[in-house]
Amino acid sequence: MAGEVCEAVNCKDEIRLSIKVKGIVQGVGFRPFVYNMAHKYELPGWVCNSSAGVEIEVEGNAHSLKGFVSEITANPPVLARIENIEVQDNLALQGYTRFEIRKSIREDGQFVPVSPDISVCEDCLKELFDPADRRYLYPFINCTNCGPRFTIIKDVPYDRDKTTMSEFTMCLPCKTEYEDPLNRRFHAQPNACPKCGPEISLFDCNGKRVDCQDIVNEAAHLILQGFIVAIKGIGGYHLACDATNTEAVARLRGRKYREDKPFALMVEGIEEIKAFCYLEKEEESLLLDPKRPIVLLKKREDSDLISEEVAPGNRYLGVMLPYSPLHYLILKEVKRPLVMTSGNISDEPIAYHDPEAILRLGRIADYFLLHNREIYQRTDDTVARIFDGAPMMIRRSRGYVPLSITLPLSGGEVLACGGQLKNTFCLTRGNQAFLSHHIGDLDNLETLRSFEEGVEDFKRLFHLRPKVTCYDLHPDYLSTRYALAQEGEKVGVQHHHAHLASCLGENGVTDRVIGVIFDGSGYGEDGHIWGGEFLAGDFGSFERMAHLEYVPMAGGEKAIKEPYRMAFAYLLESFGDDAFGVIHSLDLRWDIERLHIFKQIIERRINSPMTSSMGRLFDAVSAILGIKERINYEGQAAVELEMAASHGEEGEYPFEFLNTLPLTIRVRSVIRGIIGDLMAGTEKGIISARFHNTISTIIIEVCRWIREKTALNTVALSGGVFQNVRLLNLSVDRLKKNGFLVLTHHDVPSNDGGISMGQALVALKKLEE
């Protein structure tokens, strides 16, 4: 487009250009950047924020204009993301005499993407620790290249009066920086200093202010003494304690009623992490990314620095680097890794208002390190790991939200309400998907409220009025009920079809493929609970090609929390009444009386829905091996089964196909093989490895069978079970060796956090037709 400027007119003629830039161009230093460029090329005119992005007008000779436009396109500010530039060049001169930054223009029906929250930048960090700087040790230092964004924005366009900074009036030095186009803080909306900005305060668990000279120092001291301190951050509260102090971590665990679920760590720097985790270079760059996710890293076996209580039974630790100035200040004082777990009770959303936080966290935290900058939009920390050399999202939230994801389909505005567990929602416009932050499990009023508020916030921020609402087919999901209560058209999407669509969507594939969708549970079209599914499908439709044989879940949902119920169901299928003898001889200490009750309810089909879930099969095997009979967080039995698997084992168990359509995969001989191994005294690690091998062989054989039937050669792997990297690695390798093209998740979680985007794609396809 820049080239056309020069070709359209004689290079010496003066013309006026009107330029419209769309993308993430507000709150990221774009206007000062344009201002500087205009000065560099000596072009008069103006720049301003609009509801659609940034608008620029410049006058000058075509040669300078060309340079100006190409430089804006090629070297925008670090946080900017240009999606589109529109240049109009046949305009009459206005006779501008200087270049200026004008007030924002607001147009109806337009929108501009909001930037996510970004960790404090190098320049600000230098000032933070410079005793001569006026912001020395100031916990709210920021500039146009860093700081909070999404979490403080109430409305667009992004201006200070539409953020939670509106109540702080800038002092003269701050205002001067804010108004100086050449300053790093020009129009940095959260700009502040110790004189005019937010401040921190320390309270005890009764809400009484703690008097002290140096609040950060005092908080750090309390942590070092073994206390639990709630710290108000960017997207909510963390509960912090000394990660090397087993007693403190155990106390936090006890108070949070979170027996085994791993806690995340915050560590001062890369070198400090290397003391207790292995670190590949891709992991290092992900840790250092300004988005600052929690990264899953392999624990060093030779280090006992971190308390075992942080992640019991797990070979990985979730680690992040500090991202707010306050984090840096505290870590510099404590000089050791901290547990930084989100400040919520069990599965309620993260607390984000001060009185609410003290009320809800008062029984967990001993002290509260708070501040008076309001968090408008709560966001949990993002969790990711490296797979195949690239980041793979497990929970996509702070730092990534609300960055849009480009879809291979384009259409109208759609709201997709997601599932029940790890809920996210998704809104679309054109070919852009706005996937929400992690809302959590929609099983109580608090999470439902934050879901509803989140949907309204996204509609406002992106000026969306969706006329189509998508939902999961499960009639009891709160997200489904919410969707059905909305006005306009509704589109129901089968759970595993949504998983498949989500994987296709992030990979930009619209063709029909084989979808291997393994997860815990999703409502099937036949009313049973699906979860070990082989589909052939695209956005428009799918065919169920194969699935795990159905087994009963004794007691329904209870069988998810108590994997030994699934183990018993599988043993009954595999051994009939001899199951009791097997259980007895394996010395599995399950309550025999209850097992008899389970047998009865299974036989009479009372509260025992049928499931083809792969997640439940993993649970069953975990319980049979005595690894986990009851769980206290979702997926725990399967996670610990994966962690137990030994390396280098190549054996596997036989399985059968029942020649039906869809093909039924029967694993009774797998269960019998496992029991045989156990009886022979085979190590659990070997058995776990053989089981993983078997599942990957099932994937290969079924995919080959589907390829023969359909000629499809691309395989998409989706569903929460594929967070199991052992299974994922094994399956991807072997599928590739068998000539398949393999699609996996990276930008969108493979678990239920990704299905809202899949639902939206299915709806967009439907609307297209």
CB 196 to Zn ion: min, Å: 3
Using an 8 Å Cβ cutoff, are 627 and 684 in contact? yes
Q: How far apart are CA 192 and CA 173, in angstroms?
A: 10
Stretch that binds Zn ion, among 121-129, 161-169, 333-341, 466-474 (CB under 5 A): 121-129
Closer by beta carbon to Zn ion, 199 or else 333: 199
Task: Give the nearer residue to Zn ion in terms of CB position, either 139 or 419.
Answer: 139
| Pairing relationship of beta strands 610-611 and 714-718 according to DSSP bridges | unpaired
Stretch that binds Zn ion, among 122-130, 476-484, 636-644, 740-748 (CB under 5 A): 122-130
417 near Zn ion, judged by CB under 5 A: no
Residue 208 sits at the vertex; the CA angle it makes with 207 and 209, to the nearest 5 degrees, is 115
What is the smallest separation between the CB atom of 230 and Zn ion, expressed in angstroms? 26
Q: Which is nearer to Zn ion, 143 or 728 (CB)?
A: 143
Nearer to Zn ion, 165 or 267 (CB): 165
Task: Give me Rg for the CA atoms of the chain.
Answer: 28
Binding of residue 121 to Zn ion (CB under 5 A)? yes
Strand partners, 204: 367
Residue 257 neighbours by CB under 8 Å, 6+ apart: 345, 346
SS3 string, 52-94, reads CEEEEEEEEEHHHHHHHHHHHHHCCCCCCEEEEEEEEEEECCC
Specify the residue, 327 or 616, whose C-beta has the smaller distance to Zn ion: 327
Choosing from 15, 17, 37, 124, the residue that interacts with Zn ion (CB under 5 A) is: 124
- Contact segment (CB under 5 A) with Zn ion among 81-89, 144-152, 432-440, 580-588 equals 144-152
Nearer to Zn ion, 127 or 747 (CB): 127
Stretch that binds Zn ion, among 5-13, 188-196, 389-397, 440-448 (CB under 5 A): 188-196
- Name which position in 72, 193, 296, 319 contacts Zn ion (CB under 5 A): 193
Number of residues that bind Zn ion (CB under 5 A): 10
Q: Is 174 in the site for Zn ion (CB under 5 A)?
A: yes
Distance CA 141, CA 131 (A): 14
Cα(497)–Cα(522) distance, integer angstroms? 10
- SS3 category, 193: coil
Residue 171 lies near Zn ion (rule: CB under 5 A): yes
Stretch that binds Zn ion, among 33-41, 194-202, 437-445, 555-563 (CB under 5 A): 194-202
Which segment (109-117, 135-143, 424-432, 590-598) binds Zn ion by CB under 5 A? 135-143
Q: Between 123 and 214, whose beta carbon lies closer to Zn ion?
A: 123
Considering the rule CB under 5 A, would residue 118 count as an interface residue with Zn ion? no
CB of 334 to Zn ion, least distance (A): 24
Residues 102, 195, 449, 467: which binds Zn ion (CB under 5 A)? 195
Which is closer to Zn ion, CB of 145 or CB of 718?
A: 145
What are the distances in angstroms from CA 353 to CA 236, 297, 370?
A: 8, 32, 10
The reply to whether 405 sits near Zn ion by the rule CB under 5 A is no
| 125 binds Zn ion per the rule CB under 5 A | no
Q: 676: which residues sit within 8 A by CB, 6+ positions away?
A: none
Burial of 456 (0-12, 13-18, 19+ CB in 10 A): exposed
Contacts of 522 (CB under 8 A, 6+ apart): 419, 472, 474, 494, 495, 496, 499, 529, 530, 531
Contact region for Zn ion (CB under 5 A) — 141-149, 264-272, 275-283, 620-628?
Answer: 141-149
Within a 13 Å sphere around the CA of 386, how many CA atoms are in the beta-carbon half?
17
Q: Which residues are within 8 A (CB) of 158 and not within 5 positions of it... i.e. 6 or more apart? A: 26, 27, 49, 112, 114, 115, 149, 189
Q: According to CB under 5 A, which one of 52, 56, 146, 760 is a site residue for Zn ion?
A: 146
Between 196 and 643, name the residue whose CB sits nearer to Zn ion.
196
194 vs 651, which CB is nearer to Zn ion? 194
Contact (CB, 8 A) for 277 and 317? yes
Residues 6 or more apart whose CB falls under 8 angstroms from that of 323 comprise 117, 119, 120, 234, 292, 399
Residue ranges that bind Zn ion, judged by CB under 5 A: 121, 124, 143, 145-146, 171, 174, 193, 195-196
